[in-house]
Structure 1
Amino acid sequence: MTTKESHAWLNSYPAEVAPSYPYSETGLHEFLKQAAEEYPEKTAIHFKGKDLTYQELFDYSLRFANALKTLGVEKGDRVAVMLANTPQSVICYYGALFAGGVVVQMNPLFVEREIEQQLIDSDAKVLVCLDMVFPRVQKIRQNTSLEHVLVTGIKDFLPFPKNKIYPLIQKKNMGIKVEVTYDSETHNWKRIVENASKKFEEVAIDSKKDLALIQYTGGTTGAPKGVMLTHYNLVVNAEQCIRWMYKTERGGERILAALPFFHVYGMTTAMNLGILNIAELVIVPKFDPKEVLKTIEKKKITMFPGAPTMYIGLTNHPDIEKHDLSSIKACLSGAAPLPREVQLSFEEKTGGKLVEGYGLTETSPVASANPIWEMNKNGSIGLPWPDTEMAALDQETGEIAGINEVGELAVRGPQVMQGYWKNEEETNAVFSGDWFKTGDMGYQDEDGFFYIVDRKKDMIIAGGFNIYPREVEEVLYEHEAILEAAVVGVPHPYRGETVKAFVVLKEGKEASSEDLETFCRSKLAAYKIPRIFEQREELPKTFVGKVLRRALVEEEMEKNEADETEKKHG
């Protein structure tokens, strides 16, 4: 148990939040069962004009669980789900857990190599995929352990006449017309689910030992690793979310689910949190600022977990003043640093609160967040959540660093993963005792708030000085013309590396390299100032909107190699 004497961050806790709580030791899917028992007629999901009640969602999930059992799925078998945000993605997730399966979430944008890699590593027995993804699956299917593939489409949960029109739009706009031949190993998802029983037969779950999820990390620095999360890991993190957001009303919230459920951030802060809190999930399959603004106003959204790029897209949209966004209560930003200007602008235009949190796939994912309705510190990743400890570990000694001293951030708590699937070597490399080492460099201030200075691997070393890209990016975001910024280190013959900034300008704004350098000079030490500026129309991002610095670095390396080759050959 944590105490205020040993953990400084507890002194900054809201009075309504305790340092420690008891957590439910049940299967994660019990959330849905309880919601259906308490609020059977309440809307659980709204999707493009179609509503599902909690009773209907529960029934569909049980039917899917029983369909899996008829296909031979037993407790512990892996069930891969490769879907965009749709009602089916929620049904398949909870249905697989009701069947005793372990969910393997996969990005439907994956190419054949990525699909094959994760299916082979996870030994998945069943895959559910969208019809437009099915041709990719077919190409690599024989190389995997898949026994069955269930195919569904966006249209399956659209109301009439949208369900009839959508395939025509899909064919016209995307050039996609998918024809699936069904057989004993390839099944029509809707048909097999609707024909299955909704009788509930409980599978015994040991929440602290049994896996609920194998979630693969991004793999930007190597092959993706499967993070093993138990039912208890995920239950705890959802319940911690509820405790932190103590002003939310059970049965009274409407959550905009724009973050993908196949990413652990959206899975926990939208889907699992939503069902635990018996909220209405307003599902958006793709983030479009114009449509999101309309949805917030029309559906009176109260909670909107997102990534900074989403809030940037909304606050800079020319139509934002035309929409009433006053229903927003609280937004938790993650996946990337939240610029101060974005936070202030969003709060001003909605009247709601927007704060930055922090986590990783390995921590289910949330480890810390700023208080929402009390003192918060922009630029900070906030305070460790109840029953969670954080520390900056000295790089040389491994000991806990002092206040305001930079070290590698480490986390321990009940939401920390069990390890990497079939990868003991990597598991051992990231644990020091029961401390999980995050790979992020940071520090704790005197009030117990933690700060990220940057990823260990993103740190720039120029002329012997350590430069953290995030600090430089924060300064660039203060410039009135900049919409987005990313800073990386590029090779330099004398300094080893030098600082390069990639910037996207706001519509109608102008700023030269000289302007930006002058601006940085007033706010940064000379060695931190970008020596090169490159303007872009857009920056490469992950599917949750996190800027991929690594992709920019690789581009620079390729350019550098091409230049060297040209020099050699004259």
Structure 2
Amino acid sequence: MEASLSGQQPAPFSGKPWLNRYPAGVPAEIDTEKCSSLVEMFEQGVAEFAELPAYSNFGKTLCYRELDRLSRDFAAYLQQGFKLAPGERIALMMPNLLQYPVCLFGALRAGLVVVNVNPLYTARELKHQLSDARASTIVIVENFAHTLTEVLEEVPVKQVILTRMGDHLGPVKGTLLNAVVKYIKKLVPEYHLPAAIRYKTALARGRGLRYTRPDLNGDTLAFLQYTGGTTGRSKGAMLSHRNMLANVEQCLGVYGPVLSRGQEKVVTALPLYHVFALTVNGLLFFRLGAHNLLITNPRDIPGFVRELKGDDFSCITGVNTLFNALVNNADFQGHDFKSLKLTIGGGMAVQRAVAEQWQAITGSRLLEGYGLTECSPLVTVCPYDMDGYNGSIGLPVCSTEVRLVDDNGEEIHLTHTPGEMEVKGPQVMSGYWGQSGEDDGTFHDGWLRTGDIATINEQGFLKIVDRKKDMILVSGFNVFPNEIEDVAMQYPGVLEAAAVGVPHRDSGEMVKLVVVQKPGASLDEKALIGHCRQYLTAYKVPKVIEFRDELPKTNVGKILRRELREAAA
């Protein structure tokens, strides 16, 4: 590796230089035993903030007391109606709707393990995740039920709970929304799930059933949160109650000095099935008694901005692509941001131009963070007292150790010198579901290997300079080259294929597919992209295809994706 990628002279450092840079009120360590489980945290929250608004969506608001009642009814039905035992896996497949927090907290209160599922998954992707997690139950929005129909006989799911977009909006508004979604916008493809239980039926039946609080502790598994790991198909990161609680307390440690209990309103445009929004929006702001505004379709920027009109929100989280779309929307630019005190960017790198434009328009600094699903997810954040964008991913959060190692696994003690970042802390997962951990290269001497190459400066600010793994990052979502290539190779006429990420102004990266044709074949780019679209979620589909006579390879035949990335860039 080069001695320095920053142009600055390396200097020795030791210990944790970031602790001296922490702003006022940020502790070096957090108490990981404040609550025994997420259920205890939930119980404390609904008791303290009972009458305050908890979640709003489509103009309907649930207060903390109502969330307590509804999640209790849902938990009772899971326990008594479905006879689910603690530790069984339940999949949640829905966008940001009021049903999500009800089902999330209901499942946790029943002692179940939550498996978050992207509702845009194709049948192939859904089959893999449900089968790998051995999920016995799924809650799914009607809009995506057709995907489940395709694979139901091939997965271990025995019970299906079916909900509709307007199920919490009342008889008039809810019925109208459901009709518009199904019959006017035609967003509900035909499906066949004859044994499914309606969500509203489950709540009604649960109301008359006994709820038994499960025996939970910090080591109890809370989530199987699927990610890519380093290679291959999506893996389930095993996140315990302690992992999630620790990361909530770490978030509270770094952001708490600028937040007030029971007084914040946070905009949740990122999907709660994504670990960033799950922990920060779903759990941290619950812990604070905040009012959470759920945005169901943030891709509809004009509709999103209309939902914000006249709203005095104090916090917002997002990815670079979302912030970029907002700052380029004239109506958003005219919003009153006098209440906005905290903007958090994560999931992908925040671009300088976007951060500076955001700060100029809103008066709020866009604080970038870095995390991994395997870390629940927060590892580093930019401190709240920063003047503006500095190109770093910030400082390690409380109770977190970070080190850089060279290619031989030896720790680097020089500033501005690149090395692979490794992490230790109470938020780090125990391993991947069904895999050994240390043996598969995930851990190195007890440290989680991130696969990211970083540098550190004298104050402890870290900067990502490269990705060791070939993962492609599209709008904050991991895309695995092997998966794209496997699908492409199924198309007649494809001899070899390599997928790489190339820079893209809006999504950070996009997928490029480089293809070698079989002798005599004459492939059409649009047809091949159409083939990929049948088997891959939209963000994974190649946006451009390049045809070559051969692919660059090592002397043992391994495709050199780095060369392809460099050529494309």
Q: What's the TM-score, normalizing by structure 2? A: 0.79
What is the CA–CA distance in structure 1 between the aligned matches of 2:213 and 2:348, rounded to whole Å? Answer: 39
Query: Is 1:560 paired with 2:569?
Result: no
Distance 1:562 1:279, change over 3 A: same
Query: Is 1:101 paired with 2:89?
Result: no
Distance 1:180 1:56, change over 3 A: farther
Name the SS of the counterpart of 2:69 in structure 1: helix
1:18 corresponds in structure 2 to 27
CA shift for structure 1 position 15 = 2.1
Query: Is 1:7 paired with 2:16?
Result: yes
Distance 1:376 1:123, change over 3 A: same
Q: Percent identity?
A: 32
Figure out how many residues of one structure are paired with residues of the other and give that number.
482
What is the CA–CA distance in structure 2 between the aligned matches of 1:304 and 1:142, rounded to whole Å? Answer: 41
What is the CA–CA distance in structure 1 between the aligned matches of 2:37 and 2:501, rounded to whole Å? Answer: 48
The answer (yes or no) to whether the contact 1:62–1:199 under 8 Å persists in 2 is no
Q: How does 1:160-179 map to 2 (within 5 A)?
A: 161-170=172-181, 171-174=183-186, 176=188
Give structure 2 stretches of 5+ with no counterpart: 1-12, 474-480, 482-497, 507-537, 553-569
CA shift for structure 1 position 561 = 5.3
What is the CA–CA distance in structure 2 between the aligned matches of 1:361 and 1:427, rounded to whole Å? Answer: 19
Query: Is 1:238 paired with 2:226?
Result: no
The answer (yes or no) to whether the contact 2:31–2:249 under 8 Å persists in 1 is no
Q: How does 1:309-388 map to 2 (within 5 A)?
A: 309-374=321-386, 378-388=390-400
CA shift for structure 1 position 87 = 1.0
| Higher RCO (CA-CA < 8 Å; seq separation 6+) | 2
CA shift for structure 1 position 122 = 0.6
Specify which of 191, 212, 218 is matched with residue 222 of structure 2.
212
1:390 corresponds in structure 2 to 402
Name the SS of the counterpart of 2:84 in structure 1: coil
Give structure 1 stretches of 5+ with no counterpart: 460-468, 471-487, 489-496, 506-546, 565-570
Counterpart of 1:214, as a letter, is: L
Distance 1:25 1:346, change over 3 A: same
Task: Please list the CA deviations of residues 121-176 of structure 1 after superposition, one character each: whole Å capped at 9, or x if unmatched.
Answer: 11111111011222221221121211211100111012453312223322222353
Task: Please list the CA deviations of residues 222-243 of structure 1 after superposition, one character each: whole Å capped at 9, or x if unmatched.
Answer: 2101100000100111111111
Name the SS of the counterpart of 1:29 in structure 2: helix
Choose 110-119 or 357-366, whichever is displaced more.
110-119
What is the CA–CA distance in structure 1 between the aligned matches of 2:36 and 2:551, rounded to whole Å? Answer: 59
Query: Is 1:66 paired with 2:54?
Result: no
Q: How does 1:62-461 map to 2 (within 5 A)?
A: 62-70=72-80, 71-159=82-170, 161-170=172-181, 171-174=183-186, 176=188, 182-183=194-195, 186-197=196-207, 200-207=211-218, 209-218=219-228, 221-245=231-255, 246-287=257-298, 288-374=300-386, 378-424=390-436, 428-458=440-470
What is the CA–CA distance in structure 1 between the aligned matches of 2:133 and 2:246, rounded to whole Å? Answer: 24
Counterpart of 1:57, as a letter, is: L
What is the CA–CA distance in structure 2 between the aligned matches of 1:290 and 1:342, rounded to whole Å? Answer: 19
2:65 corresponds in structure 1 to 55
The answer (yes or no) to whether the contact 2:355–2:389 under 8 Å persists in 1 is no
What is the CA–CA distance in structure 2 between the aligned matches of 1:375 and 1:12, rounded to whole Å? Answer: 14
What is the CA–CA distance in structure 2 between the aligned matches of 1:224 and 1:503, rounded to whole Å? Answer: 24
CA shift for structure 1 position 321 = 3.1
What is the CA–CA distance in structure 1 between the aligned matches of 2:414 and 2:551, rounded to whole Å? Answer: 45
Name the SS of the counterpart of 1:344 in structure 2: helix
CA shift for structure 1 position 105 = 0.4
The answer (yes or no) to whether the contact 2:14–2:413 under 8 Å persists in 1 is no
Counterpart of 1:269, as a letter, is: V
The answer (yes or no) to whether the contact 1:80–1:104 under 8 Å persists in 2 is yes
CA shift for structure 1 position 66 = 0.7
Specify which of 37, 43, 46 is matched with residue 56 of structure 2.
46
Choose 443-452 or 25-34, whichever is displaced more.
25-34
Distance 1:500 1:75, change over 3 A: closer
Task: Give the CA RMSD over aligned residues.
Answer: 3.0
Counterpart of 2:313, as a letter, is: I
Distance 1:551 1:136, change over 3 A: closer
2:562 corresponds in structure 1 to none
**Runs of at least 4 residues of structure 1 off by over 4 A?**
177-182, 218-221, 499-505, 561-564
The answer (yes or no) to whether the contact 1:128–1:152 under 8 Å persists in 2 is yes
Q: What's the TM-score, normalizing by structure 1? A: 0.79
What is the CA–CA distance in structure 2 between the aligned matches of 1:375 and 1:175, rounded to whole Å? Answer: 45
The answer (yes or no) to whether the contact 1:353–1:373 under 8 Å persists in 2 is no
Counterpart of 1:446, as a letter, is: E
Counterpart of 1:11, as a letter, is: N
